[in-house]
Amino acid sequence: MSVTVIVGLQWGDEGKGKITDYLAERSEVVVRYQGGNNAGHTVVKNGIWYKLHLIPSGVLYPDKICVIGNGVVIYPRALLEEIEELKEKGVKIDQENLKISDRAHIVFPYHLIEDELEEEGKGVEEIGTTKRGIGPCYKDKSERIGIRMCDLVREDVLREKLKKNIEKKNKVFKNIYGKESVDFDEIFKDYKEYGEKLKPYMMDTSLFLYEMAKKGKKILFEGAQGTLLDLDFGTYPYVTASHPVAGGASIGGGIGPTMIDEVVGVMKAYTTRVGQGPFPTELKDDIGNFLRERGYEYGTTTGRARRCGWLDLVMIKYAVRVSGVTTLALTKLDTLTGLSTIKICTKYKIGEEIVDNFPGSLEDLNHCEPIYEEMEGWNEDIRGARSFDDLPLNAQKYVRRLEELIGIEFGIISVGPSREETIMLRNF
Ligand code: GDP
Ligand code: IMO
Ligand code: MG
């Protein structure tokens, strides 16, 4: 394992934070490559819960270097607050162990306003975004009016770009939405200060990662969100604005695709989704409520209740394919304890057709009927299991059946939120 990408195979919140923290012990560098503080990654160490939004989940090891890559969009206020909160909990963060790309784009207050207004404007068709300004920031990036970290520390550049952007945004706020203008002076002053505070962390992280890889250092890329939220491969338009798939690590980290040795796909033993959009195996019944309560399925970033449903292998197999997953990590197996029957979706029925490839069209997704295979559940508490043989027979059968259906083996099985609550099935 020299360069490994960790990618979510569902709609986010698969437990990427826990798996990244776990594998970070065996790595030297941990990199976030896309998304922003829409992400919420939970890591539990010695009974203390850490909720990470922009800082990579390797930060709890003082000797690991954390990198925020060029593909990430940074809301400096949130980042500085996160740094302070972590420092208060005794976590080491300084320019030695945190590096931020000089090419990463910056989220401004007007992006948050745009996110809010665009969602309001969509009415019943709202995406259900995290309202963190992520989509509008990426929109400015592709419109080529974005402001990057390297601009933040050049007063004249920042002034000029920000002035132009604010003039443009204010026209839209006033003429289209009839809303108040945002104030240039206040934002300029705040962002100049943010630039001064963040300058020590800034560098060409692509070059840094290249040099680390050349020295044989182990690098872990931590995806945010999940494959089904990817701008190209997700349930468009109910997606985020970046590329969580493994290929995103190449662009968002600035490393050539040939440098990636391994892709770990993280999947929950069932499915969840926050926000709107299709969800073929969603359960709006007691079992859905059981999964939500037992799995504590409430958003790490927004606190919203997550929609819950059975595991969908049509989706998983698709996600495994588009990211070239080499090993799987199964999380939250413990949440299924107590269910007499466990269902696995293996195919969809769309009209008269049976399909096993994830459809692109929203219309197909909205009309597809999942076809299930049923397995017997177990009642034993499995949070103490530390080897595969510690699992009850029915849990073992469930895992083996998943491997058979997906065609890839599990390298890790997680049976609880803490580091120790993990079963390792191979070396990394
Ligand atoms: P991420 O966004 O993919 O990092 O996932 P989140 O942190 O948003 O959500 C996963 C939640 O499940 C967090 O509260 C984790 O602490 C928790 N978690 C992770 N793995 C397990 C597990 O195996 N069992 C249980 N019960 N909880 C887990
Ligand atoms: P982690 O990294 C789950 C969802 C939002 C919404 C859609 C678009 O913790 O897995 P955005 O604010 O990104 O424009 O919202 O994407 N979403 C997530 N859902 N986990 C996340 O991150 C998410 N980040 C965004 O709920 O449906
Ligand atoms: Mg999350």
How many H helices and E strands in the chain?
Answer: 13, 20
Does the pTM exceed 0.95?
A: yes
For residue 53 and ligand 1, the question of a CB distance below 6 A is answered with no
Cα–Cα nearest to 241, from 228, 252, 229 = 229
Strand partners, 376: 341
How many whole angstroms separate alpha carbon 319 and alpha carbon 267?
Answer: 10
Answer yes or no: 367 catalytic. Answer: no
Axis-axis angle for helices 134-143, 109-122 (nearest 10): 110
pLDDT at 301: 81
Please state the φ and ψ torsions of residue 390, each to the nearest 5 degrees. Answer: -70, -15
Which two tokens mark 180?
Answer: 């108040």
Give me the domains of the chain, ranges plus CATH numbers. 2-100+202-263 (3.40.440.10), 105-198 (1.10.300.10), 267-424 (3.90.170.10)
Ligand of minimum distance to the alpha carbon of 331: 1
Q: Which of 34, 37, 119, 240 to mutate to test the pocket of ligand 2 (most atoms within 8 A of CB)?
A: 240
**Cα 273 to middle of ligand 2, angstroms:** 9
The Cα–Cα gap between 76 and 191 comes to 8
Residues in CB range of 357: below 8 A, 6 or more apart: 314, 318
Pairing of strands 65-68, 29-32: parallel
CA–CA dist 106, 80 (Å, integer): 13
Structure tokens at 196: 């001064």
Is residue 332 within 8 Å of residue 297, measured between CB atoms? Answer: no
CA 238 / ligand 2 centre spacing (Å): 10
348 vs 127: CA distance, rounded Å: 24
Q: How far is CA 118 from the centre of its chain?
A: 22
- Sheet strands (E) in 281-334: 307-309, 311-312, 327-331
Tokens of 403: 């491997």
How far, in Å, CA of 56 to CA of 65, rounded? 9
Regarding the beta carbon of 313 and ligand 1, being less than 6 Å apart is answered no
Distance in Å, CA 41 to ligand 3 centroid = 5
Q: Which residues of 397-408 are buried (b: 16+ CB within 10 A; e: fewer)?
A: ebbeebeeebeb
Residue type, 378: W
Atom 13 of ligand 2 has which residue's CA nearest to it? 240
From CA 252, how far away is CA 248, in angstroms rounded?
6
Within 10 A of 194 (CB to CB), how many other CB atoms are there? Answer: 20
The residue from 41, 105, 111, 243 that is catalytic is 41
The residue count of the chain comes to: 428
Q: What angle do CA 209, 58, 140 make, to 5 degrees?
A: 65
Could you read off the pLDDT tens digit of each residue along the chain, which spans 428 residues? Answer: 599 999 999 999 999 999 999 999 999 999 999 999 999 999 999 999 999 999 999 999 999 999 999 999 999 999 999 999 999 999 999 999 999 999 999 999 999 999 999 999 999 999 999 999 999 999 999 999 999 999 999 999 999 999 999 999 999 999 999 998 999 999 999 999 999 999 999 999 999 999 999 999 999 999 999 999 999 999 999 999 999 999 999 999 999 999 999 999 999 999 999 999 999 999 999 999 999 999 999 987 888 999 999 999 999 999 999 999 999 999 999 999 999 999 999 999 999 999 999 999 999 999 999 999 999 999 999 999 999 999 999 999 999 999 999 999 999 999 999 999 999 999 99
Token duo for residue 348: 């969809």
- Ligand 1 pocket, residue 422 CB under 6 Å: no
**Helix/strand/coil for 343:** strand
Catalytic residue list contains 53: no
- Which residues does ligand 2 sit against, CB inside 6 Å? 8, 11-13, 38-41, 127-130, 132, 134-135, 224-226, 229, 240-241, 274-275, 300
Q: How far from 306 is each of 297, 366, 384, CA to CA, in Å?
A: 5, 19, 26
User: What is the pLDDT at residue 31?
Assistant: 98
Q: What pLDDT is attached to residue 1? A: 56
Nearest to 239 by CA among 147, 93, 130, 345: 130
Catalytic hit among 13, 102, 115, 140? 13
Q: Helices in 1-90 by DSSP H: which ranges?
A: 16-24, 76-88
- Tell me the C-alpha distance between 388 and 425, whole Å: 8
Task: Report how far apart the first and last C-alpha atoms of the chain are (Å, whole number).
Answer: 6
Residue showing tokens 């132009």: 164
* Tokens describing residue 20: 């990244």
